[in-house]
Amino acid sequence: MNPKENIPTQPKIVAIFQKMIADKKMINDHLANGGKISALKAKGFKFVKPI
């Protein structure tokens, strides 16, 4: 099986994945620089509560 066959090529799907990756990088950088999760929540990020 060719791995490129499973890559979504629809622009909407690609845009969603790019946004997810950008958000993940921003959250990671914020926390690495000593930021707090409450500041991210104030910016509009939502986090799930672990069970």
pTM across the whole model: 0.66
The share of the chain scoring above pLDDT 90, in percent, equals 45
Tens of pLDDT, residue by residue over 29-49, are: 999 999 999 999 998 988 888
Return d(Cα 19, Cα 1) in angstroms, integer: 28
Nearest to 44, CA basis, from 10, 19, 7: 19
Return d(Cα 16, Cα 10) in angstroms, integer: 10
Ranges of H-type helices in the chain: 11-32, 37-42
Return d(Cα 42, Cα 50) in angstroms, integer: 20
Return d(Cα 41, Cα 37) in angstroms, integer: 6
